[in-house]
């Protein structure tokens, strides 16, 4: 099978490396110079240095060539690139099955990824999301990982789980695309709060409280939007939240740690060198919570911290000092 992967960042490269152990993979990136270097050195020195590309993985700076003749399209750009990529794929190769591994809410609209795809793709091709607890570096190294493939079409989800499943990279089918995407989006915001708490030295008890109450926020919003409660107890919910809030490879947790050190957001993002989706998602999640009447104090606090210049210590202390309620 031939897979066209769009987005040559860390996660796109990791999936390309993993899937190319079984399939023919073409990895597209928009920067022709960087793609040329990746092809010459057979590794992505910018995002995943020292991970050698298998022979069945090729790279290309041509979007059209990557799209044509592919049995599956997989978009792994930042969320901001999903709409354009989907629109171009519909024009070039209508009907080709589509997966995406983007997480977050679209800036300015608050739309989940599947809503963006539905607007651009319509019913032209079956589609779904690949999400769950997965650091790119570990996937690229071949370390055991389990993720969710969610689609409203159960047959589509089960078919592509069977086609892509590997002993090391294990896939599980799910038909709750709303719940899977809400879990993937909001956990990044909670991870920023967890990073701030850790950076302030508030301890493991405080982190556990933030994770637990963060999962409650994710579940409340997800159910309100039509997701299923049980999804948030699985890989796309609790699993992704735990990894992102506790792992040292988490970009969003690193944003929180740096905020606790007093660094400006601009400096943090420059130092990071990667996209941290929780930064833009925080504002959209806060707005969505207000529109839907869902109480989301942690996400609201992260939003004020990132975008309104709130003091990190005061934000976390206020969260921990909220009035007692039934759990």
Active site residues: 187
**CA atoms of 280 and 21, how far apart (whole Å):** 34
- 3-class DSSP state for residue 8? coil
* Strand 2-6 versus strand 24-28 pairing type: parallel
**CA atoms of 63 and 76, how far apart (whole Å):** 13
Contact 31, 61 (CB under 8 A): yes
H or E stretch covering 41: helix 32-41
Contact 100, 75 (CB under 8 A): yes
**CA atoms of 113 and 177, how far apart (whole Å):** 10
> In sequence order, what are the beta bridge partners of 112?
none
Specify burial of residue 167 (Cβ count, 10 A radius: 0-12, 13-18, 19+): exposed
**CA atoms of 111 and 182, how far apart (whole Å):** 10
Closest CA to 252 of 169, 182, 186, 177: 186
Contact 244, 252 (CB under 8 A): yes
- Extended strands (E) in the chain: 2-6, 24-28, 57-60, 72-75, 98-100, 127-131, 145-150, 169-174
> In sequence order, what are the beta bridge partners of 147?
171
**CA atoms of 179 and 185, how far apart (whole Å):** 10
Closest CA to 24 of 68, 63, 71: 71
């Amino acid at each position: 099978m031939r897979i066209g992967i769009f987005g040559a960042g860390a996660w796109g490269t990791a999936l390309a490396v993993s899937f190319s152990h079984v399939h023919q993979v073409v990895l597209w990136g928009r920067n022709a110079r960087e793609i040329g270097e990746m092809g010459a050195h057979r590794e992505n020195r910018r995002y995943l240095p020292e991970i050698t590309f298998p022979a069945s993985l090729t790279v290309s700076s041509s979007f059209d060539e990557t799209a044509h003749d592919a049995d599956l399209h997989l978009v792994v750009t930042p969320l901001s690139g999903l709409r354009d990529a989907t629109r171009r794929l519909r024009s070039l190769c209508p009907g080709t099955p589509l997966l995406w591994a983007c997480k977050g809410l679209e800036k300015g609209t608050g739309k989940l990824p599947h809503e963006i795809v539905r607007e651009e793709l319509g019913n032209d091709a079956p589609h779904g999301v690949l999400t769950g607890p997965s650091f790119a570096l570990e996937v690229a190294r071949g370390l055991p990982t389990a993720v969710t493939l969610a689609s409203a079409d159960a047959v589509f989800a089960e078919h592509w789980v069977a086609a892509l499943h590997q002993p090391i990279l294990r896939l599980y089918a799910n038909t709750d695309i709303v719940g899977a995407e809400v879990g993937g989006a909001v956990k990044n915001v909670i991870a920023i709060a967890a990073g701030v708490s850790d950076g302030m030295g508030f301890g493991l008890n405080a982190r556990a409280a933030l994770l637990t109450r963060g999962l409650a926020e994710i579940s409340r919003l997800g159910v309100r939007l039509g997701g299923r409660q049980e999804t948030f107890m699985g890989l796309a919910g609790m699993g992704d939240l735990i990894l992102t809030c506790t792992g040292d490879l988490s970009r969003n947790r690193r944003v929180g740690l740096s905020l606790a050190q007093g660094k400006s957001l601009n400096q943090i993002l420059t130092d990071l060198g990667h996209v941290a989706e929780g930064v833009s998602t925080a504002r959209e999640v806060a707005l969505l919570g207000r529109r839907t009447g869902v109480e989301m104090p942690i996400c609201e606090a992260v939003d004020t911290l990132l975008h309104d210049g709130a003091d990190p210590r005061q934000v976390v202390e206020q969260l921990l000092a909220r009035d007692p309620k039934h759990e």
